[in-house]
């Protein structure tokens, strides 16, 4: 079931996108409940979905170390879709939450079709997971 564009319009990743673009994104998102302690992604696991926090919060950890606290509008899961085959961190709900999930192939296609979205994802990836030196 899709997510209404009004629920994602203020997500910074989607800022300033046209209603048509937001509708295309919303059509591919599915709202899912999450409860405190629930793992939304697990470090080392396969990554088939991209997530946006709709309501509530989550904690991002790697090797047991807290890397970030996520709240409404924050996103995760992009690294496993665009750069690696495995999840680079564990994300655990810290409160009752709603997350919006999108199948990775759908997300990759939308990012290809919406250049500004692709640029924003690449910028986030560069900040979160710098590219390894290819030399």
CA angle 26–30–31, rounded 5-degree value:
110
96 in Cβ contact with 35 (< 8 Å): yes
- DSSP H or E segment with residue 75: strand 75-76
In angstroms, rounded to a whole number, what is the distance separating the alpha carbons of residues 97 and 58? Answer: 8
Domains detected in the chain: 34-128 (2.60.120.10)
pLDDT by residue, tens only, the chain of 135 residues: 799 999 999 999 999 999 999 999 999 999 999 999 999 999 988 888 999 999 999 999 999 999 999 999 999 998 888 877 788 899 999 999 999 999 999 999 999 999 999 999 989 888 877 554 333
pTM score over 0.75: yes
């Amino acid at each position: 079931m899709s997510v209404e564009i009004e629920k994602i319009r203020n997500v910074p990743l989607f800022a300033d996108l046209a209603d048509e673009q937001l509708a295309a994104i919303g059509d591919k998102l599915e709202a899912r409940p999450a409860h405190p302690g629930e793992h939304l992604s697990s470090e080392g696991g396969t990554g088939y979905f991209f997530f946006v926090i709709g309501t509530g919060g989550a904690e991002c950890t790697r090797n047991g170390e807290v890397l970030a606290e996520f709240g409404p509008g924050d996103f995760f899961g992009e690294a496993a879709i665009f750069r690696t085959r495995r999840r680079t961190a564990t994300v655990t709900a810290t409160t009752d939450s709603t997350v919006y999930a999108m199948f990775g192939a759908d997300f990759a296609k939308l990012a290809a079709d919406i250049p500004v979205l692709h640029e924003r994802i690449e910028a986030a990836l560069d900040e979160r997971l710098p590219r390894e030196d290819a030399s």
